[in-house]
Amino acid sequence: MSEEKIFENTNEELIPEQDSQTEDNPTPTDLETEVTAKLSIEDELAEMKDKYLRLYSDFENFKRRTSKERIELYKTAGQEIITAMLPVLDDFERANKSMETAQDIIAVKEGIALVHNKLKNILIQKGLKEMESQGKDFDADFHEAITNIPAPSPELKGKVVDAVEKGYFLGDKVIRYAKVVVGE
């Protein structure tokens, strides 16, 4: 019997009591909490990926749409001005027909002057402005010097003596630089 007691005592000593709160062996509630946290993080990540993909898709659609609109704008950008100038083209055609049989040169000149004024007024309505260059200081932002000549008078030194070709603004932007002769 004493052997049995010794054996029992050694068994009791050999088998330690298990503590349910040890770090090595988490409880089922700790595992559930970790799994729940991991699932919520994965759900959040999936939601973020979905938002990212939708945003990326929206941006690609935006780029495609604006590119298409830009191409369409380039194709039809001149439509308004061309439509406004069609009556001038009609007037020039009528002037050409009348010049074939015209006997009065003064009437032809007046007709051409009327068509010229009509064209000029249409362009002014569309925002075209002539650049005033004659007698102004030479400015490389507005003028293109094609030659320099001795200034006819001392006050014309460094100024535009003659404008060979007019310059034009469209709004406030220079669309053609004036070709000028500058006095030295």
Edge-to-edge strand list for the sheet holding 160-165: 143-149, 178-183, 160-165
Biggest CA–CA distance in the chain, Å, is 153
Domain spans of the chain, in order of start: 129-184
Structure tokens at 164: 């060979």
Q: How far is C-alpha 39 from the geometric centre of its chain's CA atoms?
A: 44
**Considering the entire predicted model, what is its pTM?**
0.57
Phi, psi of 82 (to 5 degrees): -65, -40
| Contact between 121 and 105 (Cβ < 8 Å) | no
**Could you read off the pLDDT of 47-74 as tens digits, one per residue?**
999 999 999 999 999 999 999 999 888 8
Model confidence at 12, pLDDT cuts 50, 70, 90, reads very low
Q: If one looks up domain 129-184 in CATH, what number appears?
A: 2.30.22.10
Residue 34's pLDDT band (cuts 50, 70, 90): confident
pLDDT digits (tens, 9 = 90+) for 81-138: 888 899 999 999 988 888 888 888 898 889 899 999 999 999 999 899 999 998 899 9
